[in-house]
């Protein structure tokens, strides 16, 4: 990527997953129609190439969302970047339709994302990590800040780093893997987000050592990983540690699904604290700590099949939580607490997979010095305007936009793909309007 430190950008996107990919497309589509030169934009992604949760790109994993909730369709159904355009370009449109499935595999969707980014002309710096943002120029505390300086680190950059100037940033750095309290990752203790990378290393170098594996959690990641391990390691003994009695189904029924509609963002944003709490209470089970029915059924079939064959391969520790983990020689010793008896029990395994979920996106590490300009609510959360722009002290004249990390203001779809096309359009319109 050619970087000009002398150029003042209109917008710099930090992170290049589906959210900022959708934004880059919206910039091209919404600004390319006026005949004027479009805004100067650049994007940075710390990974060496585009990758959408590659560590969980399991062979049978399906999307949890309709293919029509792609990068663009809800904003611009005629877009050349749609999933349907992708299928057409790949010559698979008729067979996709014959297949009669709204939910493609994650592998096919990943291919779509790679295809879409290849059509873009916007520069993306891969292998470039944004390490901080600060006001450019005058350091006087009360001076108006008209320009930001984005600090980037990357082996491919001249001297290993770069600084560039911009009027706006859009932060989209993604979910943050969450481990059980006090548990650190290492070569035998994995988080689900890195599962396939770790599994492949072990499969090639020490497959024989994977005899006892525990999978913690009762969400989609845990169930998919358990099913995968059951298929791939017929000789292994698996232990599933889950807080509920059994895996609970993800509610994707039509009325409940309206919670992900673009209009639901307004209902959430302009609602009262009570209505927002109520939405979470009623509809958390559309996404968190739940599993698709197809995965639950296929997992149960496997477990029942084992019983018919007279060989139990999965032990379920339900109503249980992991309370601690320690290393005993080569063993990983897990302390499990029963939620029904409060009794503790230790289990030794070769590998522990923590499918224990994610924390929301946290912009603070990339905001760096700029964080001090951002306003927070009584609970310490960023105050965010309807157009996804953080409310800041008045002397900051630049825009800091968030894609993710807005569950408290914009609702359940904040960390998902559902509203991504519309949200990107709203952010681009805000950038254009506020810039005048």
Pick the stretch among 94-102, 214-222, 343-351, 378-386 that binds ligand NAP (CB under 6 A).
214-222
Name which of 153 and 333 has its Cβ closer to ligand FDA. 153
The count of chain residues that interact with ligand FDA, using the rule CB under 6 A, is: 29
**Least Å distance between CB 153 and ligand FDA?**
9
User: Which x/- pattern, by CB under 6 A, does the window 174-213 give for ligand NAP?
Assistant: ------x-----------x---------------------
Find which of ligand NAP, ligand FDA, none residue 217 binds, CB within 5 to 8 Å per kind: ligand NAP
Binding test (CB under 6 A) with ligand NAP, winner from 14, 56, 351, 400: 56
**Least Å distance between CB 4 and ligand FDA?**
19
Residue 383: φ, ψ to 5°: -85, 125
- 237: which strand partners? 212
Residue 54 DSSP code: G
The count of chain residues that interact with ligand NAP, using the rule CB under 6 A, is: 27
Confirm or reject binding of residue 411 to ligand NAP (CB under 6 A).
no
Binding test (CB under 6 A) with ligand FDA, winner from 45, 70, 108, 350: 45
Confirm or reject binding of residue 287 to ligand NAP (CB under 6 A).
yes
Please, what sign has the CA dihedral across residues 65, 70, 71, 73? negative
Pure H helices in 119-241: 195-205, 220-232
Do residues 116 and 85 lie in contact, with contact meaning Cβ atoms separated by under 8 Å? no
Strand segments, DSSP code E, in 106-167 are 124-126, 129-135, 148-153, 161-166
Binding test (CB under 6 A) with ligand FDA, winner from 40, 256, 279, 416: 416
Strand pairing of 41-45 and 124-126?
Answer: parallel
Find which of ligand FDA, ligand NAP, none residue 173 binds, CB within 5 to 8 Å per kind: ligand FDA
Confirm or reject binding of residue 217 to ligand NAP (CB under 6 A).
yes
Q: What is the Cα–Cα distance from 323 to 328, expressed in whole angstroms?
A: 16
Name which of 196 and 320 has its Cβ closer to ligand FDA. 196
Q: Which two tokens stand for residue 313?
A: 């391969």
User: Which x/- pattern, by CB under 6 A, does the window 332-361 give for ligand FDA?
Assistant: ------------------------------
Instruction: State the CB neighbour count (10 A cutoff) for residue 398.
Output: 21
Binding test (CB under 6 A) with ligand NAP, winner from 220, 332, 403, 409: 220
Name which of 126 and 288 has its Cβ closer to ligand NAP. 288
Residue 11 makes CB contacts below 8 A (sequence gap 6+) with 27, 39, 40, 41, 166, 167, 168, 169, 170, 431
Confirm or reject binding of residue 110 to ligand NAP (CB under 6 A).
no
Q: What is the Cα–Cα distance from 412 to 431, expressed in whole angstroms?
A: 24
Confirm or reject binding of residue 321 to ligand NAP (CB under 6 A).
yes
Binding test (CB under 6 A) with ligand FDA, winner from 239, 332, 415, 430: 415
Q: What is the Cα–Cα distance from 228 to 203, expressed in whole angstroms?
A: 13
Strand segments, DSSP code E, in 282-420 are 314-317, 320-328, 331-338, 344-349, 351-354, 358-359, 399-402
With 0-12 / 13-18 / 19 or more C-beta atoms within 10 angstroms meaning exposed / middle / buried, residue 419 is buried
Confirm or reject binding of residue 47 to ligand FDA (CB under 6 A).
yes
Confirm or reject binding of residue 227 to ligand FDA (CB under 6 A).
no
Residue 5: φ, ψ to 5°: -70, -20
User: What is the separation, in whole angstroms, between the first and last Cα of the chain?
Assistant: 29
Find which of ligand NAP, ligand FDA, none residue 14 binds, CB within 5 to 8 Å per kind: ligand FDA
Find which of ligand FDA, ligand NAP, none residue 110 binds, CB within 5 to 8 Å per kind: none
Q: Which residue is nearest to ligand NAP (CB)?
A: 219
Q: What is the Cα–Cα distance from 270 to 264, expressed in whole angstroms?
A: 10
Give contact residues for ligand FDA (rule: CB under 6 A).
14-15, 17-20, 44-47, 52-53, 56, 63-65, 129-130, 172-175, 366, 403-404, 415-418
């Amino acid at each position: 990527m050619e970087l000009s430190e002398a150029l003042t950008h209109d917008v710099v996107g930090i992170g290049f997953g589906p959210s900022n990919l959708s934004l880059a497309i919206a910039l091209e589509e919404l600004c390319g129609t006026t005949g004027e030169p479009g805004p100067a934009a650049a994007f940075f992604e710390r990974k060496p190439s585009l990758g959408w949760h590659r560590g969980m790109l399991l062979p049978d994993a399906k999307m949890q969302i309709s293919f029509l909730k792609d990068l663009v369709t809800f904003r611009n159904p005629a877009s050349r970047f749609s999933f349907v355009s992708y299928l057409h370009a790949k010559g698979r449109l008729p067979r996709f339709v014959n297949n009669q499935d709204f939910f493609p595999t994650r592998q096919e969707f990943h291919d779509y994302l790679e295809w879409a980014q290849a059509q873009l002309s916007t520069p993306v710096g891969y292998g470039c990590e944004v390490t901080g943002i600060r006001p450019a120029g005058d350091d006087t505390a009360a001076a108006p800040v008209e320009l930001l300086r984005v600090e980037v680190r990357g082996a491919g950059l001249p001297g290993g780093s770069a600084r560039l100037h911009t009027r706006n940033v859009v932060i989209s750095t993604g979910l943050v893997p969450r481990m059980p309290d006090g548990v650190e990752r290492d070569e035998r203790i994995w988080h689900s987000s890195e599962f396939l990378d770790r599994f492949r290393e072990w499969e090639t170098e020490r497959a024989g050592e994977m005899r006892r594996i525990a999978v913690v959690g009762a969400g989609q990641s845990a169930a998919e990983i358990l099913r995968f391990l059951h298929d791939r390691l017929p000789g292994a003994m698996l232990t599933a540690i889950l807080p509920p009695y059994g895996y609970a189904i993800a509610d994707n029924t039509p009325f409940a699904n309206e919670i992900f509609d673009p209009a639901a963002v307004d209902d959430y944003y302009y609602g009262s604290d009570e209505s927002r709490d109520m939405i979470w209470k009623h509809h958390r089970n559309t996404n968190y700590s739940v599993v698709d029915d197809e995965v639950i059924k296929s997992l149960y079939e496997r477990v029942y099949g084992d019983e018919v064959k007279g060989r139990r391969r999965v032990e379920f520790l339900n109503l249980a939580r992991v309370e601690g983990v320690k290393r005993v020689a080569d063993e990983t010793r897990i302390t499990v607490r029963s939620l029904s008896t409060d009794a503790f029990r230790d289990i030794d395994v070769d590998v522990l997979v923590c499918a224990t979920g994610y924390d929301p996106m946290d912009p603070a590490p990339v905001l760096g010095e700029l964080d001090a300009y951002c306003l927070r609510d009584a609970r310490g959360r960023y105050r965010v305007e309807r157009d996804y722009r953080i409310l800041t002290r008045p002397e900051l004249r630049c825009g800091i936009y968030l894609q993710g990390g807005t569950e408290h203001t914009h609702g359940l779809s904040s960390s998902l793909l559902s509203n991504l096309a519309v949200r990107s359009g709203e952010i681009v319109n805000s950038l254009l309007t506020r810039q005048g």
